[in-house]
Amino acid sequence: MHATATETSTHALSGLIDLARYPLDDLDVEAGQALVAQCRRQLEDDGCVVLERFVPDEAVARLERETERLSPEAHYNQTETNPYNSAGDPNRPASHPVNRFDDRTNGFVAGDRIDDDTLIRQVYANPDFQRFIAAVVGMEAIHPYADPLADLVVNVLRDGCQHPWHYDTNEFIVTLMTRQPEGGGLFEYVPGIRSPEGENFDAVKEVIDGDRSQLTSLALRPGDLQIFFGRYSLHRVTPVEGPRERHTVIFAYAKEPGFVGRPERAQRIFGRMAPIHERLLEEGMDRSDSLAD
C-alpha cells in the first residue's frame, strides 16, 4: 500500500516537531483550530508569537549539529547600517532615523548552501508546515521564495556580532533557534511601529534614542519557533557575548509565488548575487508598498 501525501507529510515532521503539543498535521480538528486561533490572536495583539519547544529536545540536538556543520559556510560582513538598509539623507537632520547608523556584523548561510536532505530544508518545504504558517498569518496559502539565496537561511552570530534596529523585506518571517549563546543575543522589537501608510519616523527616533516603553525583549531558546511581522515592527538582536555562536534558521515565505529579494540586498548579505538577481538588476523591480526596504 502506498502512503498518501498527507501521511508522507506527517511522517516527515514526526520527531522533528512536537505534534502532540502543536498538531499542525491536522488543523481541522479542535486542537489544531485552537492552536491557530491562539497564534492569530497573539500576532494581532503583539505582532509576534513564540511557540516554545516547538522542536522536542532530542530533535533540537540534531538540528544544532546540522547548523553547526553549516555555520562555516556563513558569509560575514561588517557595515554601518540604518533601520532602512539605505543611504543617509543629507537633507534631514543627523538625529533623523534615516541618518542613524549602527554596526551590523553577522553571518548568513545562503539557501543554495543548504541541501534538500537537511532537516531544516525538509521542514521548510513541508506542506503541513506551510499550511500552518499560512493559517497563522491569515493567508490562503504561502509560497517559498524563488530566491535561491534568501529562501532558507541560517543566521550565525559570533561573539560581538549584532543586528541593529531594522525592518524585514517581507511582511512576516519565521525563525527557529537552534543554538543559544552564553550571553546577549536578545531579540527586541517594537510591534507595528510603522504601517504601509507611513514610516512614523518620530516614534522610531524615540526607540533609537533609548525609549523602551513599547519594547519587548525575548530570550529565545533552542527549539522555539517564532512567527514575526518584521516588515512593520522595528527589531534588533543585541550583541552576542561569549565564544558560543547564536544560530537561527530563517524560513522565508511570500504571499505570491516568484518572490525574489533585491539584488543589492543579496550582495550585501551574502556577498554575491545569483543569476536571477543579476537579471533583476538589469530589468528593475517594484515593491507592493512605498516603505523603505
| The pLDDT value given to residue 12 | 74
In a domain, 79, yes or no: yes
Asked if the structure places residue 40 within a domain, the reply is yes
| pLDDT at residue 293, rounded to an integer | 56
Mean pLDDT of the chain: 92
pLDDT 10s digits, 167-196 = 987 789 999 999 999 999 999 999 999 999
291 within domain boundaries: no
Residue 117 has pLDDT above 70, yes or no: yes
Distance between CA atoms of residues 81 and 55, nearest Å:
33
Q: Does some domain include residue 292?
A: no
Domain count, the chain: 1
Confidence of residue 292 (pLDDT cuts 50, 70, 90): low
Report d(CA 242, CA 159) in Å as an integer.
5
**Do the domain assignments include residue 10?**
yes
Strand partners, 34: none
CATH code, domain carrying 195: 2.60.120.620
The burial of 86, by beta-carbon neighbours within 10 Å (0-12 exposed, 13-18 middle, 19 or more buried), is given as: exposed
Q: Locate 90 and state its grid cell.
A: 543629507
Confidence band (pLDDT; 50, 70, 90) for 1?
A: very low
Instruction: Say if residues 262 and 207 touch (Cβ distance below 8 Å).
Output: no
Q: Provide the sign of the torsion angle of the four alpha carbons 55, 56, 57, 59, taken in this order.
A: negative
- Mean per-residue pLDDT for 35-42? 97
Mean pLDDT (whole number) for 93-113: 97
Asked whether residue 48 carries a pLDDT value surpassing 60, the answer given is: yes
For the ranges 2-11, 24-33, 117-126, 226-235, which has the lowest average pLDDT? 2-11
Asked whether residue 289 is assigned to any structural domain, the reply reads: no
Per-residue confidence (pLDDT) for residue 289, from 0 to 100 = 55
Q: What is the pLDDT averaged over residues 98-102?
A: 98
Write out the residue range of the structural domain in which residue 46 sits: 5-283
Phi-psi label, residue 258: left if phi above 0, alpha if psi -120 to 50, beta otherwise: left
pLDDT at 3 over 70: no
Query: What values do phi and psi take at 62, rounded to 5?
Result: -65, -45
Q: Is the dihedral of CA 135, 141, 145, 151 positive or negative?
A: positive
How far apart (Å, rounded) are the C-alpha atoms in residues 164 and 180?
Answer: 18
d(Cα 22, Cα 36) in Å, to the nearest integer? 9
Q: What mean pLDDT do residues 189-208 have?
A: 96
Q: Alpha helices, DSSP H only, in 14-125?
A: 30-46, 57-70, 119-125
pTM, full prediction = 0.89
Nearest one of 154, 159, 107, 165 to 252, comparing CA atoms: 154
In contact, 111 and 274? CB cutoff 8 Å:
no
Q: Is the pLDDT confidence value at 7 over 70?
A: no
Q: Are 204 and 97 in contact (CB under 8 A)?
A: yes
pLDDT for 43 equals 94
Q: What is the pLDDT of residues 222-259, one digit of tens each?
A: 999 999 999 999 999 999 999 999 999 999 999 899 99
Q: What is the mean pLDDT of residues 100-118?
A: 96
